[in-house]
Amino acid sequence: MIKLLATFDELNRFYDLGGRGGGFWGTPGMHKIPEFYKHDWWIFWRGSEGEEGEFVGNSKYRMSTHEAIGLMDYLRVKGEVFFIYVFRRPRFGAGSPFDPSSTRWKGVEWAPAYEDDADPVSVDGHK
């Protein structure tokens, strides 16, 4: 469920209210076990190339945890307001508790197994 709309109007509203930089969660946060889920991130800010559905969920703008943390750190230093959208995909692999053949996961885009994920390790072991 998205709590904040990824629109420039919504972002500007935060600036109008005196926003001096920092992130606001537009979706629930991360799962605590990195071997279970891969987190896909979209960080919406004044430099984003689109809004709403053309941005959030678009694979063109999807970031790894490592990339997202780096961008958020940069934006905080610059005093930018940004909205954080993170969605998780179940992982394949030995550490995963999920059964890919279950009807629950029909149509789901699976993430690689943790050990096969080429993204760098970031916060709390997430890739």
Task: Kindly provide the residue ranges of all beta strands, DSSP E only, lying in 1-127, ordered along the sequence.
Answer: 22-25, 37-44, 81-90
Q: Which amino acid is at 66?
A: H
Residues sharing a CB contact under 8 Å with residue 53, sequence separation 6 or more, in sequence order: none
- SS3 percent helix, strand, coil of the chain, rounded to 5, is 30, 20, 50
In tens, the pLDDT along 47-64 reads 999 998 899 999 999 999
Contact (Cβ atoms closer than 8 angstroms) between residue 84 and residue 23: yes
CA distance 22 to 54: 23
What average pLDDT does the chain have? 91
Domain segments of the chain as ranges: 8-118
Structure tokens at 25: 């969660």
Contact (Cβ atoms closer than 8 angstroms) between residue 1 and residue 86: no
- Among 47, 49, 53, 56, which Cα is nearest to 26's? 56
Given this model, what pLDDT does residue 2 score? 54
Q: At 14, is the secondary structure helix, strand, or coil? A: helix
Least confident of 15-19, 34-38, 78-82: 15-19
Percent of the chain with pLDDT strictly greater than 70:
97
Structure tokens at 120: 């760098």
In tens, the pLDDT along 89-101 reads 999 988 799 999 9
In tens, the pLDDT along 22-51 reads 888 888 888 999 999 999 999 999 999 999
